[in-house]
């Protein structure tokens, strides 16, 4: 049967099917029976709908099946849509045909189970209303990122996932046996993007990214999706504005397309909409320390990276994401250049989200100083010859260029208001988990 003959549950709530006969299909979300009546709540990918199955309204065999069918059984139904104030959403289906496609076994997930158990059952738990809502928002976020860059003249450009070099420091590399050699899973698309801009000038990408993060935090995954951009000729002050526009665009798309999902998650859409129209401030690292000292009484030594606690306390003073530039050069990756106007700092930035979601974007101008990069890599114990191809990019028509990466799950977690970044990806990978 053609797809359009099956009515999606959310369509019922628009009122176009009232007192009409429809066919719908999905899974049993909740069910209880008493005597000659079964009350079932069905779900499909669009919503949940209450159905009542009364003996006599359908063949006896089908009524018995309805009584027997457990939660998560898959079903195809026919029935009449009725308005009913008592039903969730104000509508219910009076069932006249109940075909069970698969009688489910006893579903392992019931109420009040531990987060670890739910992660073990992730393949089943993604069916929950909460996770479905997050996954729909994630889909909007990913779509928005593609749309944003394509509408602004960027080409999509792909890099290898298996890479011989580090980009963000050797300590978080995942090593992979590569025939008789070894290689690493991508920590970033960036170094290859820096080659790509000489052909395409403005490029972007979104792909799986790997970091062996040994600490357990609510912000770190071992495998996550990073959305990166790189552009020839652009300077720090330009890419920070691109990053702000991108995040605002993502928020607008979610607010426009996911009202229902935000409601399910208890997330205030008007707050997100307000942020999508607000100005995001830009401050320097040094100014951030000053805010921490003056307004939070925190004495952070100049030169230390901002930890979670510092980021969170800083964000007590902002309702929108904030761009922090000019972190201390010493603690930055080898490719981040010195700021000629403030040589202890780098031409780099992080964007920090409100409400304790931390760094959602990281980026910088890229160094064009070969000697400096070589020295910094050597100091980290890197084999310089592995980077010769990258150094070539500074030898053949080098231009100023910049880029940044957005942590897709960090953004999704913030927009959805989840407690843990693990819920922002279908199958999380962390230091303690690589199953299912």
> By the criterion CB under 5 A, which residues form the site for Mg ion?
362
First-to-last alpha carbon distance for the chain, in angstroms, is 34
Q: Is 145 in the site for ligand 4AD (CB under 6 A)?
A: no
Q: Is 244 in the site for ligand 4AD (CB under 6 A)?
A: no
Cβ distance to ligand 4AD smaller for residue 236 or 361: 361
Instruction: Residue 321: name its binding partner from ligand 4AD, Mg ion, none (Cβ under 5 to 8 Å by kind).
Output: none
Instruction: Residue 255: name its binding partner from ligand 4AD, Mg ion, none (Cβ under 5 to 8 Å by kind).
Output: none
Q: Is 404 in the site for ligand 4AD (CB under 6 A)?
A: yes
> Which pair of structure tokens corresponds to residue 90?
């104000």
Is the torsion defined by CA of 157, 163, 167, 172 positive or negative? positive
Q: Is 363 in the site for ligand 4AD (CB under 6 A)?
A: yes
Cβ distance to ligand 4AD smaller for residue 183 or 188: 188
Cβ distance to Mg ion smaller for residue 67 or 220: 220
Q: Which stretch binds ligand 4AD (CB under 6 A): 45-53, 257-265, 313-321, 355-363?
A: 355-363
Omega before 51 within 30 of 0, i.e. cis:
no
SS3 of 319, please? Answer: coil
Q: Which stretch binds ligand 4AD (CB under 6 A): 132-140, 153-161, 223-231, 318-326?
A: 223-231
Distance in angstroms (rounded) separating the CA atoms of residues 203 and 229: 6
Neighbouring-strand partners of residue 345: 328
Q: Report the residue from 63, 224, 249, 334 that binds ligand 4AD according to the rule CB under 6 A.
A: 224
Q: What are the DSSP calls for 121-166, one per residue?
A: THHHHTTSHHHHHHHHHHHHHHHHHHHHHHHTTPEE----SEESS-
Instruction: Residue 220: name its binding partner from ligand 4AD, Mg ion, none (Cβ under 5 to 8 Å by kind).
Output: ligand 4AD
Is the torsion defined by CA of 324, 328, 333, 336 positive or negative? positive
Q: Report the residue from 43, 244, 410, 422 that binds ligand 4AD according to the rule CB under 6 A.
A: 410
Residues 6+ apart with CB under 8 A from 305: 327, 328, 331
Q: Which of 431, 428, 430 is nearest to 118 (CA)?
A: 428
In this structure, are strands 37-43 and 155-156 parallel, antiparallel, or unpaired?
unpaired
Instruction: Residue 43: name its binding partner from ligand 4AD, Mg ion, none (Cβ under 5 to 8 Å by kind).
Output: none
Cβ distance to ligand 4AD smaller for residue 43 or 220: 220
Other Cβ atoms closer than 10 A to 2: 5
Cβ distance to ligand 4AD smaller for residue 135 or 323: 323
Is the torsion defined by CA of 144, 190, 225, 238 positive or negative? negative
Task: Check if the beta carbon of residue 207 is closer than 8 Å to that of residue 225.
Answer: yes
Q: Hey, which residues between 160 and 199 contact ligand 4AD (CB under 6 A)?
A: 167-168, 188, 190
Number of residues that bind ligand 4AD (CB under 6 A): 22
Q: Is 360 in the site for ligand 4AD (CB under 6 A)?
A: yes
Is the torsion defined by CA of 200, 201, 207, 211 positive or negative? positive
Residues that bind ligand 4AD (CB under 6 A): 167-168, 188, 190, 211, 213, 220-221, 224, 226, 228, 359-363, 403-405, 407, 409-410
């Amino acid at each position: 049967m053609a797809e359009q003959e099956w009515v999606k549950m959310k369509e019922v709530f628009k009122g176009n099917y009232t007192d009409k006969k429809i066919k719908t299909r999905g899974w049993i979300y909740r069910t209880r029976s008493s005597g000659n009546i079964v009350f079932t709540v069905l779900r499909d990918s669009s919503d949940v709908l209450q159905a009542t199955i009364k003996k006599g309204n359908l063949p006896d065999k089908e009524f018995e099946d309805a009584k027997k069918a457990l939660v998560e059984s898959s079903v195809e139904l026919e029935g009449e849509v009725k308005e009913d104030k008592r039903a969730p959403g104000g509508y219910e289906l009076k069932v006249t045909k109940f075909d069970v496609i698969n009688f489910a076994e006893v579903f392992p997930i019931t109420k009040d189970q531990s987060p670890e158990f739910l992660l073990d059952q992730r393949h089943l738990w993604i069916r929950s209303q909460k996770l479905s809502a997050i996954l729909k928002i994630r889909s909007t976020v990913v779509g928005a990122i593609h749309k944003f860059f394509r509408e602004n003249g960027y080409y999509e450009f792909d890099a290898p996932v298996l890479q011989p070099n580090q980009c963000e420091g050797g300590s978080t590399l995942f090593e992979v046996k590569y025939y008789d050699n070894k290689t690493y899973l991508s920590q970033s698309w960036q170094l290859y993007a820096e080659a790509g801009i000489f052909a395409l000038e403005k490029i972007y990408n979104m792909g799986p990214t790997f970091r062996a993060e040994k600490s357990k935090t609510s912000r770190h995954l071992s495998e996550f999706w990073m959305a990166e951009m790189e552009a020839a000729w652009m300077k720090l002050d330009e890419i920070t504005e691109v990053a702000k526009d991108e995040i605002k665009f993502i928020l607008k798309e979610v607010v426009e397309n996911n009202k229902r999902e935000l409601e399910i998650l208890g997330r205030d859409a008007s707050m997100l909409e307000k942020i999508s129209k607000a100005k995001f401030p830009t401050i320097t690292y040094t100014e951030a320390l000053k805010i921490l000292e003056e307004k939070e009484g925190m004495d952070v030594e100049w030169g230390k990276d901002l930890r979670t606690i510092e980021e969170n306390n800083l964000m007590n003073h902002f309702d929108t994401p904030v761009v922090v530039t000019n972190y201390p050069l010493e603690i930055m990756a080898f490719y981040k250049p010195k700021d000629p106007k403030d040589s202890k700092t780098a031409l780099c930035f992080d964007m920090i989200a409100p409400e304790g979601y931390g760094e959602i974007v990281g980026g910088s101008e890229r160094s064009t100083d070969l000697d400096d990069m070589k020295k910094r890599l050597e100091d980290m114990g890197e084999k310089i010859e592995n980077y010769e191809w990258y150094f070539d990019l500074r030898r053949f028509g080098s231009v100023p260029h910049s880029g940044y990466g957005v942590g897709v799950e960090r953004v999704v977690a913030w927009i959805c208001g989840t407690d843990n970044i693990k819920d922002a990806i279908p199958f999380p990978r962390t230091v303690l988990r690589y199953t299912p």
